[in-house]
């Protein structure tokens, strides 16, 4: 918190001194070299048992044993897991060929059962 406060203090002081400071552009990016949600300000990862996160998030939620795909449903795919799962297609000579294989794999997983498909990458 002190590092964030110090940085914002310097930005406000620069703005007050008449320098051009585009706060919209600045606040679109990370202000710290590491995400403070998973790391300390000294760049060390926070300690803890990450496997407990699912238990904490679903503690007061009734999770069904099976899901029905009837009605509106969405599919979320971990992009970084799908890329190595696909591997390098034998006929892929260009990045376009690789992307066509990737999109084909996404639609093969989804079928026509989903109203929305999101492929997420963490970077």
pLDDT in tens, 59-73: 888 877 776 666 677
Give the pLDDT of residue 38: 76
The residue assigned the tokens 């600045």 is 26
The three-point CA angle 118-120-123 to 5° equals 155
- pLDDT value for 31: 65
As given in the structure block, the two tokens for residue 37 are 């949600």
- SS3 string, 79-113, reads HHHHHHHHCCCCCCCCHHHHHHHHHHHHHHHHCCC
- What is the tens place of the pLDDT at every residue in 81-102? 888 888 888 888 888 888 888 8
The model's pLDDT over 14-56, given as tens digits with 9 standing for 90+, comes to: 888 888 878 778 777 776 666 667 777 677 877 777 678 778 8
């Amino acid at each position: 918190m002190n590092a964030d406060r110090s940085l914002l203090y310097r930005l406000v002081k620069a703005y007050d001194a008449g320098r051009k400071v585009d706060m919209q552009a600045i606040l679109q990016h990370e202000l710290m070299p590491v995400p403070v949600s998973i790391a300390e300000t000294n760049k060390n990862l926070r300690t803890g048992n990450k496997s407990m996160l699912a238990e904490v998030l679903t503690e007061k939620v009734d999770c069904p044993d099976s899901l029905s795909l009837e009605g509106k449903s969405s599919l979320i795919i971990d992009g970084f897991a799908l890329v190595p799962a696909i591997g390098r297609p034998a006929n892929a000579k260009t990045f376009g060929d690789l992307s066509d294989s990737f999109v084909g794999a996404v639609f093969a997983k989804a079928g026509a059962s989903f109203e929305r498909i999101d492929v997420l990458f963490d970077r």
